[in-house]
Structure 1
């Protein structure tokens, strides 16, 4: 599928499966995959429809969806070796979606031999669409975004509540609990760093391409660039608006991790 066709697919699925259920879920339409890890009928149905359309277009494609991985934990391990693959996060920020917050997203990315080459982040409730192709920058709703900047005082959001607070020149606050919301915050300059404890591919492949396209850096705190073949867990994953921002943020947050 070309880039516009993927975007149209995402909009269609969101319009027919996700948005009608926003703030309208019945109790029996919300389940737990694990304690505190919610999934809804919207997640499940959206992923099935998106996966089926991608495979109809290319039956040889590897599709790694968040909900499919809940049933087959080996799927993400195939990403680095697949000639062509897609990651699918049908409702990123499911807890927000369940509790009526508009901060949720639909995210897809395309990979060739483990490298992200295209990415899509749709905000159904905010009516925004971010699209990137490797080497071609990032667009929001058809408008090219400028390179990110690095101010003197840096704002960082983290998925680790114990790290929140003011530390030197850094303010660490909470994420939106949706990578599909967090990464656009970084792209548009609302924050200058995103700090996570996990690097799941459907969460980070779309945003990592977009950040890099605008001159930013996505790497683990040991300096290793983000790689879909290695979830480095508690080493920490830091996305920053520039190399300068990454170099300023990383030592401080690494110190906090050790503390």
Structure 2
């Protein structure tokens, strides 16, 4: 499938099963995978449609969907073993979606040998599409994006409450993210925050969005300085506007006992 075809697929699926339920979910359409981890009928139906379309186009690929993984944890190993794979996040920011916030997204990434080669993020309520191709840049609704320079001390964001207490070395105190990787990373690219700090990253969250950042000039990696890939398994990753910010943040995080 061409890059624009996959984007249209995400947009069509969102129009069919996600948007009609926005602020219209019945209680029976909401469940918990575990305490506080919400899932909805829109998540399930969106993932089924996206997975079926991708497998029709690429029958030999492995599709790692967030909800499929929840019922079959062995799927992650098949994903890692696959030469060609896709990740699917059917409704990134489900909690936002359930509570009526427009800050949610439908996301997909193509992965070859562990490296993300193409990425799609569709924010249906904002009607904004972010697309990236390895070596081809990051684009928002057809306009190429480049991360603006950091001015002054870098300001960061995280969704982890315990990380927002106190400060990381001499860095400004962390603030809240937008509780959705498909919204957080675009805010980083557009200069609304200078770095993001995440724990226990999942491929469906960070494979597509990580490519958006790196193709816009940013850096995503672990505390040892290794670049993030779809196969990365670590406790913490940092997404930053540039190499200098990334190195400064990861060193501050490594020295902070609260984040160990």
The alignment's TM-score, normalised by the length of structure 2, stands at 0.95
The aligned counterpart of 1:207 is 209
The aligned residue for residue 6 of structure 1 is: 6
Distance 1:147 1:96 in 2: 26
Change (3 A) 1:196 1:244: same
| Superposed CA offset, 1:150-174 (max 9, x none) | 2212111112211215632323011
* 1-structure distance, mates of 2:232, 2:78: 12
- 1:138 maps to 138
Task: Tell me, yes or no, if the aligned pair for 1:93 and 1:105 is still in contact at 8 Å.
Answer: yes
Offset from partner CA, 1:26-67 (integer Å, 9 cap, x none): 000001111111100000000000011111112111100000
Question: Would the alpha carbon gap of residues 46 and 224 (structure 1) be closer, same or farther in structure 2, given more than 3 Å must change?
Answer: same
2:242 is the counterpart of 1:242: yes
What is the match of residue 160 of structure 1? Answer: 160
> Per-residue deviation at 1:4?
0.6
Report the alpha carbon displacement of residue 98 of structure 1 after superposing the two structures with TM: 0.3
Is this contact kept in 1: 2:116–2:229, CA < 8 A? Answer: no
Is the CA contact (8 Å cut-off) linking 1:218 and 1:226 kept in structure 2? yes
CA 1:159/1:101 → structure 2, altered by over 3 Å: closer, same or farther? same
Asked whether the 8 Å contact 2:217–2:242 carries over to 1, the reply is yes
Gaps of 5+ in 2: none
SS in 1 for 2:210: helix
Q: Residues 178-217 of structure 1, C-alpha deviation per residue, up to 9 Å, x if partnerless?
A: 1111100111110010101111000000111111112211
Q: Distance in 2 between matches of 1:40 and 1:130?
A: 24
CA offset at residue 79 of structure 1?
A: 2.7
Correspondence 1:90-101 to 2 at 5 A = 90-101=90-101
Aligned length: 257
Q: 2:135 & 2:226 partners in 1: Cα distance?
A: 21
**2:61 equivalent in structure 1:** 61
Q: For residues 184 and 44 of structure 2, what CA distance do their matches in structure 1 show?
A: 23
SS in 2 for 1:171: coil
Aligned to 2:223: 221
Over aligned residues, Cα RMSD in angstroms? 1.4
Q: Structure 2 CA distance, aligned partners of 1:166 and 1:225?
A: 27
**TM-score (structure 1 length as normaliser):** 0.95
Shift of the alpha carbon at 1:78? 2.5
Show structure 1 runs of 5+ residues with no match. Answer: none
Conservation of the 8 A alpha-carbon contact between 1:62 and 1:84: yes
